[in-house]
Amino acid sequence: MLIDRIKLFESGFRAIKDSIEKLLQQSDSKAVLLVDRDGNLITSAGETEKIDLESFATLSAADFAATSHLAEIIGERQFQTLYHQGERDHLYFHAIASNIIIAVIFDQRTTLGLVRVRVKHASENLTKILEDIFGRQQEERGEEEAEIEDISKDIEDELDRLFG
């Protein structure tokens, strides 16, 4: 089972990495990062050498958390996207699945419109990949729980036979 999980994780991670690298190329962005809402970096592609990735991931998650509270105040469930415009570089964030954020760093080489369109397509693909990974993990957990239940029942039956 553990080997199956490792293979699932490796193939899923490779699919995720390929997807964000494709997004990087198609959007002509500087960098693409995948962050969870707890502030952990999942993976990145592009020009990230000069970025403190740990801080970026943490602050991206905090930005989404703060904005979620603003959404609630005005009666929205949450905002799916955030955009920050700088003089030179810009940030575009898009929430996918229940707890994953795509962060795109881009400059004048591309446009917000192109980034938005490419992120939309990438988010659909990434959502499918993540659902597949999490769906399989749920199935495996269910199988393990059934096995544990069977073992527990066998132990219980044996104890009843010995002491009952």
Q: For residue range 12-52, what is the model confidence (pLDDT) as tens digits?
A: 888 999 999 999 999 999 999 999 999 999 999 999 999 99
Domain with 132, as residue range(s), is 2-163
Q: Provide the CATH number for the domain around residue 33.
A: 3.30.450.30
Structural domains in the chain (count): 1
Split at pLDDT 50, 70, 90, the class of 6 is very low
pLDDT at 98 over 90: no
What is the C-alpha to C-alpha distance for residues 103 and 121, in angstroms, rounded to an integer?
14
| Predicted model pTM | 0.77
**Beta pairing, strands 41-46 & 81-85:** unpaired
pLDDT at 3 over 50: no
Determine contact, residues 141/135, Cβ cutoff 8 Å: no
